[in-house]
Every structure is written in C-alpha cells, then in structure tokens.
A = this chain, B = another copy of it.
Amino acid sequence: MLSLFHVPLSPFCRKVRLTLAEKRLEVKLIEERYWEAGTDFLRRNPAGKVPILRYDGRMLAESQAICEFLDDVHPEPSLMPNDPAGRYEVRRLCAWFDDTFHTEVTANLLYERVNKKLMGRGYPDSQKIKTGSTRIKYHLDYMSWLLEHRRWLAGNAMTLADFAAAAHLSCLDYINDVDWERAPLVKDWYATIKSRPAFRPLLADQVPGMPPPRRYADLDF
C-alpha cells in the first residue's frame, strides 16, 4: 500500500491526495509536522518538505513530479490531455497556481493565519493578510475569465490544473478566505469538483483548535 507523508492544509499535499483518490489508489496518510522534522523524516526526505509519497519502496518528492508520475503509471482516468498544446496548458496553469498564486495568495493568507500558529511562530502579519486579500480577487477574476471560455480551467476536460487550483482554494476556504460571491463561475466549478468522491477526505480534515466554517464541507455552499 502507498503511504503519503503530508499535512492536511497543504495545497501541494492536497493536489497529490486528489490525484491518488481520482485514480482510486489507496493510500495511508501519515501526518508529518515537517517543521519539527526529526532525523527519521530528514533521512526519508533531505529537502525536509511534504508531500512525500512512498511508492513501491521509493520515496517520491515534489508534488508536480509525483502527480505526473501517477498519471503516467495509472493513466485511467487521465488527468492530462492527449495533445502537446493541451498538456502545455495544464502545466502552465499548475505552475501558475503552485508558484504565482502560492506566493501572492496562499503564503500571505494560509501561512500567516495557520502555519505560523501551528509552528509557534507568532501572529499573522496584517500587511501580508491585506496583500493576500487583494491578490486573491485578481486570481478569482482570472479564473472566471478562463471559465467563461472553457468548461474546466485548462480546457473542456478536468485535468491536474483543476486539482492544483482546487487544492489551494480548498485550503483558503477552510479559513474562510474565499469570497465565492465575487466569482459565480468559479463557485460553480468548485461545487462540481467538491462533489467528486475524490474530494470527500479533504472535506473531513480537521486542524485541532481551528475548526472550518460550516459551509467548508457543505456541497451546497
């Protein structure tokens, strides 16, 4: 059986969890407080990061490389298009969410509100919260623009790009930082993803001392 070393509110771990679940791969989840990483964890993973997937005895790191590997080895249902231009667009958007969105939004909101508290590193920086709250609006607008032209973010089929985006947004929704009313098309898209069986375990996540808002797990939010 596969094992995933993860933390519940990590968008990178969630992207891998969604991919595993969509492909009906059973996985044992092992929560890893990587910031307190002991020597055992660092031996498994010198980069000191999560997610780490144990697969056939090998330790796999880097969420995008892991997800593309899973899609390569377990091609059904596929999360990558068949044509090079389609694959390009998926990879561009994964990088967009995991790099640009991550830096501008996730790091400013989620890491300030949640990770700092969990790691005992003080209080949220109000300037960063403000920056994140402003930037998420532009990102919701950009996603709306994409969804005006396409059924899913990268085209007319669901792909890894949707999971990358949903992984970030679901973490931010857990802390009530997504203004769904601003972007009805994004809300509809998220409702569709949220209702997939693959999403259910994410909706059951609980961070001690930080309960999510009621609508977080509500499919009709």
Q: Which residues of A contact B (CB under 8 A)?
A: 46-47, 60-62, 64-66, 68-69, 72-73, 84-85, 87-88, 91-92, 95-96, 99-100, 142
Q: Which residue of B lies closest to A75 (CB)?
A: B84
CB distance A87 to B68 under 8 Å? yes
Q: How far is the CA of A62 from the CA of B161 in the complex (A)?
A: 14
Partner of A72, one of B68, B87, B95, B142: B87
Q: Which residue of B lies closest to A85 (CB)?
A: B69
With a cutoff of 8 Å between Cβ atoms, the chain B residues found around residue A88 in the complex are 60, 65-66, 68-69, 72
Q: How far is the CA of A149 from the CA of B88 in the complex (A)?
A: 32
Q: How far is the CB of A123 from chain B (nearest CB, A)?
A: 24
CB distance B91 to A65 under 8 Å? yes
Q: How far is the CB of A52 from chain B (nearest CB, A)?
A: 11
With a cutoff of 8 Å between Cβ atoms, the chain B residues found around residue A60 in the complex are 88, 92
CB distance A92 to B65 under 8 Å? yes
Q: How far is the CA of A60 from the CA of B100 in the complex (A)?
A: 16
With a cutoff of 8 Å between Cβ atoms, the chain B residues found around residue A69 in the complex are 84-85, 87-88, 91
Q: How far is the CA of A69 from the CA of B100 in the complex (A)?
A: 20
Known: A68-B88, A72-B84. 12 other contacts (CB 8 A): A61-B92, A62-B91, A62-B92, A62-B96, A62-B99, A64-B91, A65-B88, A68-B87, A69-B84, A72-B87, A72-B88, A73-B84
17 CB contacts below 8 A, A to B, read A46-B142, A47-B96, A47-B100, A62-B91, A62-B95, A62-B99, A65-B91, A65-B92, A66-B88, A68-B87, A68-B91, A69-B87, A69-B88, A69-B91, A72-B84, A72-B88, A73-B84
Q: How far is the CB of A15 from chain B (nearest CB, A)?
A: 13
Q: Which residue of B lies closest to A83 (CB)?
A: B72
Q: How far is the CB of A106 from chain B (nearest CB, A)?
A: 15
Q: How far is the CA of A60 from the CA of B85 in the complex (A)?
A: 10
